[in-house]
Amino acid sequence: MVKSIEEKVKFCPKCGSTDIFWASGLPQLWSIWECRECGYRGALVIEDSKLAEKIRQDFLKKKNEKKSKRTPRN
């Protein structure tokens, strides 16, 4: 019997992005993940795609709100 190894998709807990990677370098950082999109660095990652989608929606909403506040209106 052959077992298939399923790799779970990792999501950033701050922005919900899949552009997250294991930070390399010193051995002390082996358990640290880093997000290329929002700059998150930490040991926690999300593997639940439904939760990640909610996080992603909230992150983008907040990002757009900040952008609209910065844009001067005529």
Residue-by-residue pLDDT tens, the chain, 74 positions: 555 555 689 999 999 999 999 887 666 667 889 999 999 999 999 999 999 999 999 999 998 888 887 766 55
Give the pLDDT of residue 6: 58
Measured from the Cβ of residue 36, the count of other Cβ atoms closer than 10 Å reads 12
Structure tokens at 44: 């926690």
Question: Is residue 73 included in any domain, yes or no?
Answer: no
Give the pLDDT of residue 31: 83
Q: What are phi and psi of 70, to 5 degrees?
A: -80, -25
Question: Is residue 48 included in any domain, yes or no?
Answer: yes
Question: Is residue 38 included in any domain, yes or no?
Answer: yes
Question: Is residue 4 included in any domain, yes or no?
Answer: no
Question: Is residue 44 included in any domain, yes or no?
Answer: yes
Report pTM.
0.74
Enclosing H/E stretch for 53: helix 49-70
Structural domain of residue 48, as residue ranges? 20-68
Question: Is residue 45 included in any domain, yes or no?
Answer: yes
Give the pLDDT of residue 58: 96
Q: What is residue 71's DSSP assignment? A: S
How far is 29 from 45, CA to CA, in rounded Å? Answer: 14
